[in-house]
């Protein structure tokens, strides 16, 4: 098996990386940063986002595994003291491939068009923090004119990230959908938005038309791009999916409970 390893860069993650390489060599695995079968991240969910973006050009070929250096995460669901167990399972067991939907974002400016893929979400704000204004269309029909701090469009697995902080719903990643959440919309007699999160199925799309004069801060997961001259943004569920290699069950709702509710025992 060929694997690539990416760590958060802190001392513990780097130590665990060394440990992984040593144990993996004993098992006959080969480190390969160019064409790995499996990509392992050591750090947190944020590190897995980085690993995803490093290898998204091979998203149809690779499976991801996340090792968390702290608490268990949503993508990083192995603990730091379980590396030997994980490698033994990688050697002896065929994993289940769990696939999660991704978000496709196409951004058109006066002079260019670019496509981005997000694992968690896409966010849109004014670059200088001023009020952001944009027209929102759903399936080519005008829906609302948004005025406020910004907009987040998330995947189901990203629904527990930025989206949840904005009051969005938590969506099970087996549902192929995207969710639009507002950041502090201005609602008065003049400006009106729906005011609640909207969930679109795979065959729908959402278009955002900001003022092309505006300087925008565009977030794609952990990445931030500054852009001007944006004429339109088309968001839809991507055709491709991300795969995670699962060697043991860790149901999504258990992860949600562990992260946000706890065991309930005092
Ligand atoms: P960060 O600001 O250093 O950390 C953001 C936190 O979000 C970390 O605790 C991270 O977990 C956690 N996280 C990442 N993906 C998640 C998911 N799908 N469900 C639940 N929690 C998740 O940034 P980062 O580590 O580079 O991660 C970027 C992500 O941060 C963005 O994609 C966005 O979802 C989130 N974010 C949230 C807010 C907010 O809630 N107000 C604002 C900006 C960005 P780990 O500690 O395990 O890495």
Q: Can you read off the two tokens belonging to residue 110?
A: 């006066």
Binding-site residues for NAD(+), please? 45-46, 120-121, 147, 149, 160-165, 184
Give the model confidence (pLDDT) of 196-254 as tens digits: 999 999 999 999 999 999 999 999 999 999 999 999 999 999 999 999 999 999 999 99
Give the model confidence (pLDDT) of 16-34 as tens digits: 999 999 999 999 999 999 9
Give residue 22 CA to ligand 1 midpoint distance, Å.
Answer: 30
What residue ranges do the domains of the chain occupy?
Answer: 2-95+247-260, 102-240
The pLDDT value given to residue 263:
72
Give the model confidence (pLDDT) of 140-179 as tens digits: 999 999 999 999 999 999 999 999 999 999 999 999 999 9
Among residues 7, 32, 45, 128, which one is catalytic?
Answer: 45
Whose C-alpha lies nearest to ligand 1, atom 32? Answer: 221
Please give the C-alpha separations between residue 249 and each of 36, 65, 119, 245, 254, in angstroms, as whole numbers: 24, 13, 21, 11, 10
81 is catalytic: no
User: Which CATH superfamily groups domain 102-240?
Assistant: Probable inorganic polyphosphate/atp-NAD kinase; domain 2 (2.60.200.30)
Please give the C-alpha separations between residue 226 and each of 120, 126, 196, 220, 223, in angstroms, as whole numbers: 19, 9, 27, 11, 10
Give residue 120 CA to ligand 1 midpoint distance, Å.
Answer: 9
Q: Can you read off the two tokens belonging to residue 154?
A: 């998330």
Binding-site residues, please? 45-46, 120-121, 147, 149, 160-165, 184
Q: Does residue 71 line the site of ligand 1, with CB under 6 A?
A: no
Domain 2-95+247-260, CATH: 3.40.50.10330
Give the model confidence (pLDDT) of 67-104 as tens digits: 999 888 999 999 999 999 999 999 999 999 999 999 99
Q: Does residue 54 line the site of ligand 1, with CB under 6 A?
A: no
Q: Could you tell me the pTM of the whole model?
A: 0.97
The pLDDT value given to residue 106:
98
């Amino acid at each position: 098996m060929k694997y690539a390893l990416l760590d958060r860069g802190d001392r513990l993650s780097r130590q665990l990386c060394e440990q992984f390489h040593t144990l993996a060599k004993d098992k006959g695995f080969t480190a390969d940063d160019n064409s790995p079968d499996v990509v392992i991240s050591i750090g947190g969910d944020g590190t897995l986002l980085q690993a995803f973006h490093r290898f998204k050009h091979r998203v149809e070929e690779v499976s991801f595994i996340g090792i968390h250096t702290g608490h268990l995460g949503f993508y990083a669901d192995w603990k730091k003291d379980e590396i030997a167990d994980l490698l033994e399972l990688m050697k002896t067991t065929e994993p289940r491939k769990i696939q999660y939907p991704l978000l496709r974002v196409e951004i058109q400016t006066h002079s260019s068009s670019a496509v981005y893929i997000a694992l968690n979400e896409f966010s849109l704000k004014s670059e200088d923090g001023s009020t952001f204004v944009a027209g929102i269309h759903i399936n080519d029909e005008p829906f609302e004119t948004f005025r406020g701090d910004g907009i987040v469009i998330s995947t189901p697995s990203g629904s527990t990230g930025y989206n949840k902080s904005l009051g969005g719903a938590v969506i099970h990643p087996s549902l192929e959908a995207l969710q639009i959440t507002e950041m502090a919309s201005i609602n008065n007699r003049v400006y009106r938005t729906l005011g609640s999160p909207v969930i679109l199925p795979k065959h729908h799309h959402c278009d955002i038309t900001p003022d092309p004069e505006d300087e925008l801060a565009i977030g794609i997961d952990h990445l931030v791009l500054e852009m001007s001259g944006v004429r339109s943004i088309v968001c839809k569920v991507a055709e491709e999916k991300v795969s995670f290699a699962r060697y043991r069950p860790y149901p999504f709702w258990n992860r949600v409970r562990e992260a946000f509710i706890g065991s309930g025992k005092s």
